[in-house]
Amino acid sequence: MSQRLKLEIKALDAVEGQDLVILVSDKLALPEAVGEWAGEGAQSLLTRAAAAERFKGKALAGLTLPSPEGASYDRLIVVGVGPEDERAKLDFVKLGGAIAGRLGAGRSAELILASPDGRIEPKQAADIALGLRLRAYAFDRYKTKSRDKDEAEPLTVTLRTADPSSLKKAVKTADAIAAGVIQARDLVNEPPNVLYPAEFADRAAKLEKLGVEIEILDEKALKKIGMRALLGVGQGSRRESQVVVMRWNGAKKDEKPVAFVGKGVTFDTGGISLKPGAGMEDMKGDMAGAACVVGLMQALAGRKAKVNAIGVIGLVENMPDGNAQRPGDIVTSLSGQTIEIINTDAEGRLVLADVLWYTQERFEPRFMINLATLTGAILVALAQENAGLFSNNDELSERLTAAGIATGETVWRMPLGKAYDKMIDSKFADMKNSAGRYGGSITAAQFLQRHVNDTPWAHLDIAGTGMAAANSEINRSWGPGWGVRLLDRLVADHYEG
């Protein structure tokens, strides 16, 4: 991983960088606080260039200009924030990403945090800093060819503000969230020969230095507990399956925790029900749910969230050797319910079934949210625009939906019901792990619901959002770290203090 950004916060007292970044509205007037730093002739230069380039100050749009004669900097970079009456809708995280996209590696830039219509609040400025960090991320640790000298150097951005002390405090929180997202991205991007269950568990264990309590359950412990559904998925691999329990204690000892559960299939061949070869390399990302949970726990601990939080991840590798689970097998899950294996490629729900049951029984949480790259069917339904949301609790669903709108990591609620539940009944066991093609995402969620009892629960199917991400203002990575900001916002808005 390469985080090519050095971020500094200073008062509005000088301009020292190669680039000067300013924010303008649709009126294209330089903010009053910017004028003396931009230099004489900057406004005229912007007006003429904007007319030539048809730049109208639209939100997130940018314009790069040579500096006016006599200026101490090399380039004037103008980024739009849109008209004043639309400012409340402006995504400042995306704005930070759009700014970073205009800057080059190895350069230094001064960003004057002044709105065309007044002061930028510390929280808004911190969101800009978060966007800068997320856009600057690149996963290149396995690139061996030498880079251009300038590309190897970090981008240095100095945030110029009238109140540095308030901004430093706000940015500290944003940096903790950025670190969580970057952790999740790194995990998703790693190759499967490097990141197998035991290595994944070791990386999660590094959260101990932030105050997170870590417990790693190996196969011997899992057999003793009775996680036979999870162990069945990994029995064809030479890599031992693991479960990692992470605990952040940020609230009073007697306060019930919130719980997050992640599917961590570090590589999914499909098992005996082997996947087609084309595109199978993407199945290194079948642990994006577990990556999100680790990233979230890092974010919560990093910003010292006032909440008790549990993160539990089931880590397995689904391989097709002579000991692999077969279609037709029947396994007994931790809940005591029996499962007929119809398709060994419907493995994630087997992992989650045991981990969800374990989490609710041991920790009695206020709610459980699980994340999983569970079904290709959710891509058919929602493409890569939304994660599928399935839940037994309206309040939790509404809060997740609101957090999704606030962060841009949006979810769309899908149905559950008795008719769908009946589709997973088995002739030979209590249930089967696949109901066929129709309603595939829904029947997978129904399967999970049979392992949560009455605990408020939500299942996020992130097969379309957790990996192979499209480029955006804040992400140029295959692994986007999706879900960390969503769940951190959920906690911050409703479950702290």
Q: 3-class SS at 306?
A: coil
Active-site pick, 10, 56, 275, 366: 275
Judge contact between 112 and 11, C-beta under 8 A.
no
Question: In what helix (H) or strand (E) does residue 316 lie, and over which residues does it extend?
Answer: strand 308-318
Radius of gyration from C-alpha coordinates of the chain: 24
Judge contact between 75 and 56, C-beta under 8 A.
no
User: How many Cβ atoms sit within 10 Å of the Cβ of residue 471?
Assistant: 10
Instruction: Mark residue 290 as left, alpha or beta (left: phi above 0; alpha: psi -120 to 50; beta: remaining).
Output: alpha
Judge contact between 92 and 64, C-beta under 8 A.
no
Query: In DSSP terms, which residues pair with 112 in a beta bridge?
Result: 160
Please give the distance of CA 145 from its chain centroid, rounded to a whole number.
29
Catalytic residue at 263? no
Q: Residue 101 and residue 311: Cα distance in Å, rounded?
A: 34
Burial of 384: CB neighbours in 10 Å, binned 0-12, 13-18, 19+? middle
What single DSSP character describes residue 303? T
User: How many Cβ atoms sit within 10 Å of the Cβ of residue 142?
Assistant: 9
Closest by CA position to 310, among listed 215, 398, 240, 220: 215
Judge contact between 183 and 176, C-beta under 8 A.
no
Catalytic residue at 239? no
Hunting for tokens 């939906």 — which residue is that? Answer: 401
Active-site pick, 4, 133, 185, 349: 349
Cα–Cα separations (whole angstroms), residue 200 to 33, 188, 195, 302, 316? 48, 10, 6, 20, 10
Q: Residue 64 and residue 55: Cα distance in Å, rounded?
A: 11
Burial string for 98-119 (b: 16+ CB within 10 Å, else e) reads bbbbbbebbbbbbbbbbbbeee
Cα–Cα separations (whole angstroms), residue 60 to 25, 50, 404? 10, 15, 20
* Catalytic residue numbers, as ranges: 275, 349
